[in-house]
Amino acid sequence: MAHVSPAKVLTPLRLYLLGSFRIEREGQLIHLPTRKVESLLADLVLQPEKHSREKLAALFWGDVTDTQARCSLRKALTLLRKSLGDEILIADREAVQINPASPLWVDALEFKRISEESEIENLESAIELYRGDLLSDFYDDWILPEQEHFRTLYLDMLLRLTQEMRSRSEYERAIAFAHQVLASDAADERAHQHLMFCYLAIGNRSAALQQYEECERVLQEELGVKPMPETTALYQWIKQVPLQPRVHAALLTNLPIPLSSFIGREREMAEVKQLLRSAKTRLLTFTGAGGCGKTRLAIQVAADLVDSFKEGVWWVELAGLMDATLLPQAVAKVLGVREVPNEPLSQVLASYLRGKQLLLVLDNCEHLVTACAQLAQVLLTASPGLKILITSREVLNITGEIAWRVPSLSLPDLRNLPPIPQLTQYEGVRLFVERAIAANPNFALIAQNAQAVAQVCIRLDGIPLAIELAVARVKYLSVQQIAARLDDRFNLLTVGSRTALPRHQTLRATLDWSYDLLTDAERVLFHRLSVFAGGFTLQAVEAVCADKDETNELAMLQPTTLLDLLSRLVDK
């Protein structure tokens, strides 16, 4: 074994940038000589790519001559090496960067890394890292946008945790996280909405109503605006909903609070609500392509039907559940049902639901289709008053299921565009315009961009997720530029919400999720179908796509299996 010289062993450093600046080695504080040197180190750590010496000198010593600035930079870099070790930096005559191999742990970078994960359980550890705004006692100009960025990450994580605790019926924890949001931003309307829901859920209607009044006051004082229509509608609903004693903390619903307005779908809403109110409908499945708006429509429908179910409307989010055997536990957690020794949890749930009038929403079921079908069968058989609403890219295919395909948003005819006031009556255009204004307050639908807006919406087939991904680009591109780049849409539509499901953050990830759910045989058939430039008949598929050697038992696409495989592809 090669001998490692003690001089080569690098002692780890811990750098704290969230809150006050602090750097430690083996528990001992290290004091850098000046605030300017601390600021330089923070900049190099947060932006780990190469920095030109000229840029750094101008950024930190821009008030002196170029020669003096470069001299000051050299001295600062020397002081950093002297204080932290030569290995901390990589530098040459032109550029400087932090050494990626140096044993440096940074709280801000760890916080950012965890924020990008989808695992909700890890977010609480990230919250603990946030001891305050980034470099809260520094006042350099370069720090301000970084402070805002990390503060936004922090608030987003708190809101995700609030929503998660609500979905688990852990209302006290949800309330605590929402108050943390308001401690940093008293005008965050989403946190006020969460608190209104949570207070109602624990039976404290007066606190829920007072929270609206507090929201109204803060928004007026700080922003000079009124609460959003969604918040006011929630307030009116809370005033009217009857309070009834419950056997556990959950009152009426744990539905997620959407973070954006709901566009259109009036006809679809009316049709679906009529179906769910019908005694004949026990299991309704929303199907459709990824990003078509299944989840958003389900939230809106379920919220409107809360008063129709004596025991409420309960939302079970399944996107993050990869183990199908844990499905009963996920449902039980939302309903507040405890396991019983030596009894299958599905039967415990069935006993709990027997005699109850309740709407259960299972969201994002396509990767758990078999488990969802089995559990739905057990629960519906046991409880005549139960209705289940499913969102899935594939139907469950069980008796009594009504499959309802969620359509794309309505679109204009590009060859005969109506005047601008009428153009916004089309749901796809209205979604684009509303989200564009949210991303860029200076955006407006005018004669010069109306054609391009319509073109983008039509080229994206009126799919809400695709339109929202396109809108994210209006901060940097004109609508005409976005339309021109749609031929490369997989590289264009890559800027989704940081808090969205990973598969909803880019268009490619949305399609990959569906593709990954295919079996090996389905993928082979899907590949072979690509030879058809237009439509095709079953006879053409059998002639072109089947494996020719019918005696080979290992062949994936036997002629006798093609109809079944093709049907499954259509379903998915």
DSSP one-letter code for 253: B
Angle, helix 189-201 to helix 143-167, in steps of 10 degrees: 20
Beta strands in 348-400 (DSSP E): 358-363, 386-391
pLDDT of residue 500: 45
Question: What's the CA gap between 41 and 16, in Å, rounded?
Answer: 11
CA 503 to chain CA mean position, Å: 9
Here the tokens at position 286 are: 């929303």
Classified as helix, coil or strand, 328 is: helix
What is the identity of the amino acid at 527?
H
How do beta strands 89-91 and 95-98 pair?
Answer: antiparallel
Q: Read off the pLDDT of residues 435-454 as tens digits, 9 standing for 90 and up.
A: 888 777 788 898 898 999 99
Residue range 45-79, pLDDT digits in tens: 888 888 888 888 888 888 888 889 889 988 989 98
Residue 544 has pLDDT above 50, yes or no: yes
Q: Where are the domains of the chain?
A: 6-107, 168-240, 266-405, 414-510, 518-571
Residue found by looking up tokens 């039967």 in the block: 347
Residue 260 has a pLDDT of 66
- Burial of 303-341, coded b for 16+ CB within 10 Å and e otherwise, reads bebeeebebbbbbbbbbebeeeeebbebbbbbbbbeeee
Say whether pLDDT at 473 is over 90.
no
Q: Which two tokens stand for residue 216?
A: 């109204």
Of the candidate ranges 191-200, 218-227, 434-443, 551-560, the one whose mean pLDDT is the lowest: 551-560
The model's confidence at residue 122, banded by pLDDT at 50, 70 and 90, is: confident
CATH fold for domain 266-405: Rossmann fold (3.40.50)
Tokens of 280: 């004949």
Task: Compute the C-alpha angle 219/228/212, nearest 5°.
Answer: 60
Mean pLDDT confidence for 192-208 = 87
Cα–Cα–Cα angle for 372, 376, 379, nearest 5°? 140
pLDDT at 259: 58
283-287/401-405 β-pairing:
parallel
User: Which of residues 269 and 247 earns the better pLDDT score?
Assistant: 269
Buried/exposed 404-428: b ≥16 CB within 10 Å, e otherwise: bebebbbbbeeeebeebeebbebbb
Lookup: tokens for 450: 């109306």
DSSP 543-562: HHHS-S-TT-TT-S--GGGH
Sign of CA dihedral 283, 289, 293, 296: positive
CATH code matching the domain that covers 6-107, chosen among 3.40.50.2000, 3.90.79.10, 3.10.350.10, 1.10.10.10 = 1.10.10.10
- Mean pLDDT score of the chain, rounded to an integer? 83
Quickly list H helices, 116-228: 123-129, 143-167, 171-184, 189-201, 205-222
pLDDT value for 375: 96
Element (H, E) at 141: none
Sheet with 89-91, edge to edge strand ranges: 51-52, 95-98, 89-91
10 Å Cβ neighbour count for 559? 15
Q: Give the whole-angstrom CA distance, residue 260 versus residue 439.
A: 12
- Per-residue pLDDT reduced to its tens digit, 170-189: 889 999 999 999 999 999 99
- pLDDT of 466 > 80? The answer is yes
Q: Among residues 399, 335, 305, 286, which one has the least CA distance to residue 327?
A: 335
Q: Give the model's pLDDT for residue 512.
A: 66
What pLDDT, on the 0 to 100 scale, is given for residue 258?
67
Query: How large a percentage of the chain has pLDDT more than 90?
Result: 25
Q: Within 13 A of 266's CA, how many CA atoms are on the CB side?
A: 4
pLDDT band at 18 (very low <50, low <70, confident <90, very high): very high
Lowest mean pLDDT among 29-43, 402-416, 521-535: 521-535
CATH superfamily for 168-240 is Tetratricopeptide repeat domain (1.25.40.10)
> What per-residue confidence (pLDDT) applies to 246?
42
The pairing of beta strand 95-98 with beta strand 104-106: unpaired
CB 503 within 8 A of CB 494: no
Task: Compute, in degrees rounded to 10, the torsion defined by CA atoms 209, 211, 215, 221.
Answer: 100
